[in-house]
């Protein structure tokens, strides 16, 4: 069995969604001839952790030495769902505190010091460096430079093509652009999480072979599907339940759904107490204020993030899963889509016409609408209300799309790693 050293700052039991990608690869790569050694941060002590069992194969090793003992965890950010405070509106001005690459780039000398120990202890055949933070890509390049080990750089989100870059000063954006280009040139393989990002990067770097930039989607793990999703004593008069899983920050907003619910109530299609919109994660100040102005503050329920297994059960018990894109940005497929596929309840996707909306339709999982298509959003809510009247108990789909299962995406990554190793064998 070959060994891949996976550099991922985030990994369960931390709640950070970025760790789920490395976790699912680590869990299934062994089926395809690759043992995963994961270098990650220590278990967080200053915020909640997820008690969902990891259930990793015995050959997988998790080395929690990414941070020194005094290294700080990320926290109190818009994406930290363990922080209950609503997310404030983002500033349009570039912040001088937004450094290029990542704030933990100062760990590079320490990582270089670790390379010999990691190489001697695990003798990896390949390195898989997963961002963000984008400093992980730099660490992967350091490992390759010191050992000659083939390198795959993995971008969970685009880097220079990310709309969040707009919050950085111009000088920091120029540094990022230079670093990204050099890293893409130096790596043996680059992976991204959706076809639209892959195509955009191929267009940005036409001098690279097209095959060097590949798409390996995020995934759901079929083994984590909830077994008993129905309430023990379903109530025929229970309210319609809409669930959004995750944090509302940046360009992600519940506004189109809130406006549709207010319009339906104003027309008498919904009455008070008939519907609940539950958000597991951080709400934005703007959405809370909008719900109040529309007179539907009673509809919106803020709930803290919950352990993954409980979250899947909550999604599966929903009458409608609300899936939000990132405003008008289309180079993203939110990782929660795969959780929604696993849970199986119908999806209402509010997104620009994009790869995300196409995936929702192609998998038969639900309805996709742009934020201005109020009629489509309202019809999806009314259809869920009609289903509730006929089936008071949730009726999740029997299965999810196999192409997005963790065993399949692990197989795809293993094939890319095999191709990297064979010329070096």
Predicted confidence (pLDDT) per residue in 251-308, tens digit: 789 999 999 999 999 999 998 889 999 999 889 999 999 999 999 999 999 888 888 9
More confident residue, 389 or 206: 206
Whether 62 and 184 map to the same domain: the answer is: yes
Residue 62's pLDDT band (cuts 50, 70, 90): very high
Say how many domains are in the chain.
2
pLDDT at 232: 41
Res 425 pLDDT > 90: no
Least confident of 67-76, 117-126, 138-147, 390-399: 390-399
Assign residue 385 the CATH number of its domain.
3.40.50.2000
Residue 102's pLDDT band (cuts 50, 70, 90): confident
Least confident of 152-161, 196-205, 218-227: 218-227
pLDDT at 418: 97
Whether 105 and 53 map to the same domain: the answer is: yes
Question: Would you say 215 and 193 are in contact if contact means Cβ atoms under 8 Å apart?
Answer: yes
pLDDT at 423: 64
Whether 142 and 30 map to the same domain: the answer is: yes
Whether 305 and 412 map to the same domain: the answer is: no
Whether 233 and 359 map to the same domain: the answer is: yes
Structure tokens at 124: 């990896």
Residue 96's pLDDT band (cuts 50, 70, 90): very low
Whether 211 and 340 map to the same domain: the answer is: no
Residue 164's pLDDT band (cuts 50, 70, 90): confident
Res 353 pLDDT > 70: yes
Least confident of 108-122, 160-174, 276-290, 389-403: 389-403
Residue 76's pLDDT band (cuts 50, 70, 90): low
Q: What is the mean pLDDT of residues 32-59?
A: 91
pLDDT at 265: 95
Query: Three-class SS of residue 318?
Result: coil
pLDDT at 412: 98
pLDDT at 235: 53
Percent of the chain at pLDDT > 70 equals 88
* Mean residue pLDDT across the chain: 89
Least confident of 125-134, 256-265, 327-336: 327-336
pLDDT at 231: 43
The per-residue pLDDT for range 175-215, each reduced to its tens digit, is 999 999 999 999 999 999 999 999 999 999 999 999 999 99
More confident residue, 219 or 83: 219
Structure tokens at 361: 């339709």
What are the distances in angstroms from CA 45 to CA 21, 72, 102, 245?
22, 10, 22, 24
Least confident of 90-104, 227-241, 333-347, 356-370: 227-241
Whether 380 and 409 map to the same domain: the answer is: no
Whether 255 and 289 map to the same domain: the answer is: yes
Res 39 pLDDT > 50: yes
Residue 233's pLDDT band (cuts 50, 70, 90): very low
pLDDT at 194: 96
Whether 248 and 202 map to the same domain: the answer is: no
pLDDT at 94: 46
Please state, in angstroms and rounded to a whole number, the distance separating the CA atoms of residues 419 and 22: 20
Please state, in angstroms and rounded to a whole number, the distance separating the CA atoms of residues 124 and 2: 7
More confident residue, 92 or 57: 57
Domain boundaries, position 166:
2-219+405-424
Whether 63 and 175 map to the same domain: the answer is: yes
Whether 230 and 204 map to the same domain: the answer is: no
pLDDT at 75: 57
Res 106 pLDDT > 80: yes
Write b or e for each residue in 59-88: b if 16 or more Cβ atoms lie within 10 A of its Cβ, otherwise e: ebbbbeebbeeeeebbeeebbbbbbeebbe
Which alpha helices (H) appear in 344-405, and where do they start and end?
Answer: 355-362, 374-390
Comparing CA positions, the residue from 313, 409, 321 lying closest to residue 365 is 321
Please state, in angstroms and rounded to a whole number, the distance separating the CA atoms of residues 411 and 405: 10
Beta pairing partners, 191: 154, 214
Whether 89 and 189 map to the same domain: the answer is: yes
């Amino acid at each position: 069995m070959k060994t891949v050293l996976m550099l991922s700052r985030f990994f369960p039991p931390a709640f950070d969604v970025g760790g789920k990608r490395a976790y699912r690869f680590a869990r299934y790569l062994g089926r395809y001839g690759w043992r995963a050694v994961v270098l990650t941060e220590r278990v967080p002590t200053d915020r909640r952790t997820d008690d969902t069992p990891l259930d990793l194969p015995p050959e997988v090793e998790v080395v929690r030495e990414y941070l020194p003992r005094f290294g700080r965890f990320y926290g109190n950010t818009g994406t930290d769902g363990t922080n209950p405070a609503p997310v404030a509106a983002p500033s349009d001005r570039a912040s001088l505190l937004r450094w290029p690459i990542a704030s933990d780039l100062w760990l590079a000398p320490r990582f270089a010091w670790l390379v010999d120990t990691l190489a001697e202890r695990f003798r990896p055949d390949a390195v898989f460096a997963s961002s963000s933070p984008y400093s992980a890509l730099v660490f992967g390049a350091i490992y390759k430079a010191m050992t000659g080990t083939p390198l795959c750089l993995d971008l969970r989100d685009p880097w220079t093509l990310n709309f969040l870059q707009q919050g950085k000063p111009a000088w920091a954006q120029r540094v990022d652009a230079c670093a990204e280009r050099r890293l893409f040139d130096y790596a043996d393989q680059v992976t991204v999480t959706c076809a639209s990002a892959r195509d955009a990067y191929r267009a940005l770097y036409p001098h690279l072979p097209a095959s060097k930039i590949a798409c390996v989607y995020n995934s759901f793990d079929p083994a984590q599907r909830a077994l008993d999703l129905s309430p023990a004593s379903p109530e025929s008069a229970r309210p319609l339940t809409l669930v959004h899983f995750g944090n509302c920050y940046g360009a992600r907003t519940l506004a189109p759904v809130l406006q549709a619910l207010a319009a339906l109530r104003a027309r008498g299609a919904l009455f008070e107490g008939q519907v609940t919109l539950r958000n597991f994660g951080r709400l934005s100040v703007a959405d809370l204020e909008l719900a109040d102005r529309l007179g539907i503050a009673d509809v919106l329920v803020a709930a803290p993030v919950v352990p993954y297994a409980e979250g899947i059960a909550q999604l599966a018990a929903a009458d409608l899963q609300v899936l939000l894109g990132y405003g008008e940005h289309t180079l993203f497929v939110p990782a929660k889509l795969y959780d929604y596929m696993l849970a199986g309840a119908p999806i209402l996707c509010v997104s620009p016409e994009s790869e995300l909306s196409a995936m929702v339709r192609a998998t038969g999982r639900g309805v996709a609408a742009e934020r201005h298509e109020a009629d489509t959003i309202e019809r999806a809510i009314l259809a869920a209300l009609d289903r509730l009247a006929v089936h008071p108990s949730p009726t999740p789909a029997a299965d999810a799309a196999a192409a997005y299962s963790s065993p399949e995406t692990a197989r795809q990554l293993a094939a890319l790693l095999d191709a990297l190793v064979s010329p070096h064998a």
